[in-house]
Amino acid sequence: MAQGLRFVLFGSPGAGKGTQANLLRDRLNVTHISSGDLFRHHLEQGTPLGLRAKEYMNKGELVPDEVTIGIILDKVMCLPDDEGFILDGFPRNTNQAQELENTLAAGSRNLDKVVHIDVSEPELLRRLGGRFVCRACQAPHAIGEGEDGAAKKCGQCGGELYQRDDDRPEAVKKRIEVYKRETMPVLGFYRERGVLVNIPGDDTVDEVNKQVLAALGA
C-alpha cells in the first residue's frame, strides 16, 4: 500500500480537491492538510491570522504568502518523517512552491507527485453555485438547482449546511480569474520537476478517484 506518500492535489476552485482528499486520506492512510480548513480553524478560534485570512477569502482573493506559508509549513514539518500527507490548496503560486520545495529538501522530504484535477470552466461554475458545506465537519455537499441547501443536513454527521461567502457567484468568478493568473504557472514549476500528472476532472467522483489512485501507483 502507498502509506507514506507525499503529494499535492492541484486544481481550480470547484475541481473537487476536498472531496478527493477525503477519499484518498482514508484509502492511503495519510494526513490531509487543507489551507482553507486551517484558516477557518484560526477564524473560529478568533486569532488575528484567521481574521486577516477571512478578509481575502471572502473577496475570492489569495491569502498573502506571509500569512499562508508559515502556517502550512509548520503543519507539514511537525508530522513524523515516515508519515504521508496530502496538500490541498497549497502551494498557490511559484513562490509558495519554491518555499515548500526548500523546506522539504532541508528535511530530506520530497514530494512524490503533484496531481492536477483539470475541470472545464462551465462545470466549475455549475459546481460552485451548488456547493454547500457542513458547519460541523466541513464536508462538501452538492445541491441541485432549485434545491434549498440550507434546509438540508450533512450526510456524514447531520450538521447544518451553509454556502460559504467565497462560493457566491461574484466571488466564484473572481476566484477562477485569480487561479488562472496566479496559480496556473505552478503547473510548469512541477512539470519541470517531472512529478506532475493531469487527471480529467469533469467525470464522476468515483471515476476521478480511480484515475488519481492509478496516477499515484496505489
SS3 104: helix
Active-site residue, from 6, 40, 92, 127: 92
Of 25, 27, 126, 164, the active-site residue reads 164
Please state, in angstroms and rounded to a whole number, the distance separating the CA atoms of residues 71 and 42.
10
Residue of 6, 113, 127, 131 marked catalytic? 131
Q: Please give the helix or strand (H or E) that residue 141 lies within, else none.
A: strand 140-142
Residue 79 bridge partners (DSSP): none
186 contacts 97 by C-beta, under 8 angstroms: yes
Instruction: State the burial class of residue 88 (Cβ atoms within 10 Å of its Cβ: 0-12, 13-18, 19+).
Output: buried
Residue with cell 503547473: 187
Catalytic residue among 17, 40, 113, 127: 17
Half-sphere exposure of 60 (CA within 13 A, CB side): 19
C-alpha cell belonging to residue 96 = 509558495
Distance CA 187, CA 184 (A): 6
Among residues 34, 50, 18, 19, the alpha carbon closest in space to that of 90 is found at 34
175 is catalytic: yes
| Cα atoms found within 13 Å of the Cα of residue 218, Cβ hemisphere only | 23
Catalytic residues: 17, 92, 131, 164, 175
